[in-house]
Structure formats: C-alpha cells, structure tokens
Amino acid sequence: MMKHKNIFVACDTSNLSEIKKIIKQTQTNKLKVIPKFGLQFFYSKNGRKFLENFNKDFWLDLKINDIPQTALSAVDSLKDLKKCKYITVHTNGGLQMLKAIKKKTISINKNLKVLGVTILTSLNNKSLKEIGHTKSVEQLVLKQAGLIKKSGCDGIVCSAHEAKMVRKKFKKLFIVTPGIRLPGDSTNDQSRIMTPNDAFKNKVSGIVMGRSLIKGNIKNNIQRLIDHLNK
C-alpha cells in the first residue's frame, strides 16, 4: 500500500556528495521515493550536469514564472533532461503561460507532468494581506486549482491544509503537498504544516519532505517515516 504513496525528498543542497548520499540513503523497497531538485542544486556548478546523466525519475522544482515566451524558452532548455518527470510553474503566471507550458512539455516529453505552485507554505493570511491580496489562502488556492485544471496542466502544489478542499472539487488532480513534518520535528520556516499520515488522509497524491528526512541520520529518518505511515 505504501508503494502507491509518492514521497518526494527535497534535495536542498548544492553539495554534490551530499546529494548522492541523500539519494542513496533514502532509497527503500518499502516506499516510492523520488528526489526533488530545486534552484539551489540546479544553479550550482555541478547540478545541471549531474541531472543530464541522472538515470532515475526526478522532479525539477524551478517554479517557472515569466511572460509566456520566456517561460517557454526556459522549458525548452530542459529537453535534454530525459528523466525529469515533474516540473513546477507558478500559477500566478496566468492561464496563457500555463497553457503554453503544458503544450510545450507534450512536444518535449509526453511523460513530463506540469505542477502549478499555488500559495507557498511559508505564507499565511497575514502575509497575503501584506502583498496586496484580499482573498484568504483557501480562496486563492481553490481559484488557482481551477486555473490549473482549465490550462490542462497535471496538478498543483499546495499545503495539506487546503488539499482536502481541493480534492473535494477536483477529483482527478495530482496534488502534492510540501510543509510535511514527522511528529515532534521542528516547523522551521513553514507556516502551514502537517504530518505525512494526516496529509494522506486529506487525499493528497504525494508529499514533499526535506529536513525531516535529510537532517541527521537519513536511514533512521526513513525508518521513522515507514513506522509512522504504518500506524
């Protein structure tokens, strides 16, 4: 049963030997673990080169957000990354950008899923008000989920708190949630967090875990996750 649960491990470092260690030590036959590489690693000296030759499925979390033509050029420049299975774009880029990117990815790699990032899990209603939004986190996420569906993109990234509400309205959307912590772990800079089990109860398709897995003893952390999911 656990093999059907997507666990995305956030490889948040630019250190290549650390990356290799994280990838090796998070692999287990009991879980479906997929590495997620963000800006830090992709922009690093060895990052892109490593991904060109990487032979397992991975998620490239670049959160592309620009005018449609520039966003398309960015996606086009990724076509040599054959094992890239997921890319992220900011839903804020608008319907035209989202449609254009989805169309482009189909021509590059039909297995590549486009995930729209909604409201970052470091933000809350107070932060949204500060940047000029009048709607709540929940209202905005639901609105943006509708935009993703309309654009033909494959899924969204939102906190597990909004996932239940999104799933109720969009039954087939691929929903991934960051801000996931094992019980007792520090929240750090995330505002809207949840445990893995609670997130999966909210019908998410996958969860993103960073510090809870990669800080300290990685193998022990993976075992803690397996034990937690078995409860």
Catalytic residues: 63
Quick one: 224 exposed, middle or buried, by C-beta within 10 A (0-12, 13-18, 19+)? middle
- Helix 68-76 to helix 95-108 angle (10° resolution) is 20
As a whole number of Å, the end-to-end CA separation of the chain is 13
Alpha-carbon distance of 157 to 211, in angstroms, equals 18
Element (H, E) at 19: helix 16-26
Using the CB atoms, write b or e for 144-173: b if 16+ within 10 Å. bbebbbebebbbbbbbbbbbeebbeebeeb
Element (H, E) at 84: strand 84-90
Alpha-carbon distance of 91 to 116, in angstroms, equals 5
- In the chain, the amino acid numbered 34 is I
Judged by DSSP in three states, 97 sits in: helix
Positive or negative, the Cα torsion across 41, 46, 51, 56?
negative
- In the chain, the amino acid numbered 169 is K
Residue 122 sits at the vertex; the CA angle it makes with 142 and 211, to the nearest 5 degrees, is: 120
